Structure 1
């Protein structure tokens, strides 16, 4: 639902938080950022040639969705840990770096995956970004923005215990890394909203990888034994993959036809 004054429509580069923000601030391209860990895990999976199907978190239909697509269903990292079986594929990017024999993966998550699933359901053109592929995503978007397309970057955030949104520093940094690469690294001539410029300022102020390990999300995962996931998430611009949601699954933009997925212009 678009709220007057909140849609940032006078700017071609926009930013808004979480699923509600993604619904309120629309653009031709929506870039979902969930550094810890959906889009980081997504980047690792796509690097390995795995087709990734996003899905809502804790949705009983996930297993059926995986069966329909002949895909492996990923479990939550804590569930995989409790099972004590390394063969379980999970939301952990470290687990995806080790897995063998997986070609298609249903990857639910409470934040990034759920947002991507909802955006696709609404007909948006969705891209997955994290610190690992921020510059690659910016390079892919640059000619599209130069042709007049609008972009909203959606830092996914986390959830408090009452299920309200908790803005997450790592997602603001990831969003800022993409926008900074677009505006300053590539010199794209497009107006950025104050919200988008705030993300760039936050990214430029970050001291990585130390800040990622020391922010709330990094401390939580490190304390639970997932420090390797945080270290992978903190790798900046090490990946060239650009995960684009085509139909129900993410694929690397390099494997798509030159024109990519058909763009549905906002308001068209």
Structure 2
């Protein structure tokens, strides 16, 4: 594909979903994956507690096999959490669950994006750690035309499996890009600039996420606490970085 599709010559770039991540990662030094109402918020909560988080692409029987292989507990779907399996994709449930030093977190969106990043540094970003991520990324020299950073909004899935752009992920990605700009990264692609502008134009990100389609889905399903945690703007200073297959906190 032509250079225009990878937003060439820009230091900060923005794209949607696993396919976009795989294409643009070919010319990326650092990739920030953003999945606000599930994966990356859960990663921040777990890593904040000292847990190593192994992303896994499939929610099937192979996830349990993988967890056994890496000596980790397995997180299940929100509705499947129980006394014997208290770890799930719910950030609120992860806060309540017993400490696990290693945790496998299956996610067909966020984990897949991490898996297709190639040689790029991979970071988990969310509304709750956007400023920390921007500071960390810019402070290590990423976000220039020579060392570009790609911010990927995971999005959700329609019933046919196609990508559903999700407002919460646009806001999360925009918050990371806005933070990068505050820390001196001004060479934004038009796509990245618009994502940051969307975030800057929202006066109450928490209320907006709670009212949007994905937020209402969770709230009406009994997971309002997950939405509240996901919208704790800049409450977390942890920057989860993928190292040897697991997200860990780094200095």
Which TM-score band (shorter chain)? over 0.9
Contact 1:3/1:24 (CA < 8 Å) preserved in 2? Answer: no
Please report how far the alpha carbon of residue 3 of structure 1 lies from its aligned counterpart in structure 2 after TM superposition: 4.7
Rounded Cα–Cα distance in structure 2 between residues aligned with 1:69 and 1:18: 27
Aligned partner of 1:181 in structure 2 is 179
- List structure 1 runs of 4+ shifted beyond 4 angstroms: none
Aligned partner of 2:229 in structure 1 is 232
Aligned partner of 1:214 in structure 2 is 211
Contact 2:131/2:179 (CA < 8 Å) preserved in 1? Answer: yes
Rounded Cα–Cα distance in structure 1 between residues aligned with 2:9 and 2:212: 33
Rounded Cα–Cα distance in structure 1 between residues aligned with 2:188 and 2:87: 38
Report the secondary structure of 1:209's partner residue.
helix
Alignment match of 1:123 (pick from 115, 119, 123): 119
Deviations 1:96-136 (A, max 9, x none): 111223110000012112211232xx232100000000000
Aligned partner of 1:246 in structure 2 is 243
Q: CA RMSD in A?
A: 1.5
Seen in structure 2, the aligned counterparts of structure 1 residues 235 and 114 have a Cα distance that, compared at 3 Å, is same
Report the secondary structure of 2:205's partner residue.
coil
Contact 1:40/1:130 (CA < 8 Å) preserved in 2? Answer: yes
* Structure 1, unpaired ranges of 5+: 255-268
Aligned partner of 1:66 in structure 2 is 67
Contact 2:12/2:143 (CA < 8 Å) preserved in 1? Answer: no
Alignment match of 2:130 (pick from 119, 131, 134): 134
Contact 2:75/2:85 (CA < 8 Å) preserved in 1? Answer: no
Report the secondary structure of 2:123's partner residue.
strand
Report the secondary structure of 1:30's partner residue.
strand
Aligned residue pair count: 246
Please report how far the alpha carbon of residue 187 of structure 1 lies from its aligned counterpart in structure 2 after TM superposition: 2.6
Contact 1:30/1:126 (CA < 8 Å) preserved in 2? Answer: yes
Give the structure-1-normalised TM-score: 0.88
Report the secondary structure of 1:180's partner residue.
helix
Rounded Cα–Cα distance in structure 1 between residues aligned with 2:49 and 2:166: 27
Deviations 1:56-82 (A, max 9, x none): 1324321111111110010011222xx
Contact 1:52/1:107 (CA < 8 Å) preserved in 2? Answer: yes
Report the secondary structure of 2:131's partner residue.
helix
Aligned partner of 1:41 in structure 2 is 42
Aligned partner of 1:266 in structure 2 is none
- After TM superposition, list the pairs within 5 Å mapping 1:80-91 onto structure 2: 80=81, 85=83, 87-91=85-89
- Which deviates further from its counterpart, 58-67 or 171-180? 58-67
Please report how far the alpha carbon of residue 214 of structure 1 lies from its aligned counterpart in structure 2 after TM superposition: 0.3
Contact 1:108/1:114 (CA < 8 Å) preserved in 2? Answer: no
Report the secondary structure of 1:36's partner residue.
coil
Alignment match of 1:205 (pick from 198, 201, 206): 201
Aligned partner of 2:5 in structure 1 is 6
Please report how far the alpha carbon of residue 4 of structure 1 lies from its aligned counterpart in structure 2 after TM superposition: 4.4
Deviations 1:134-167 (A, max 9, x none): 0000000112137742100000000000000000
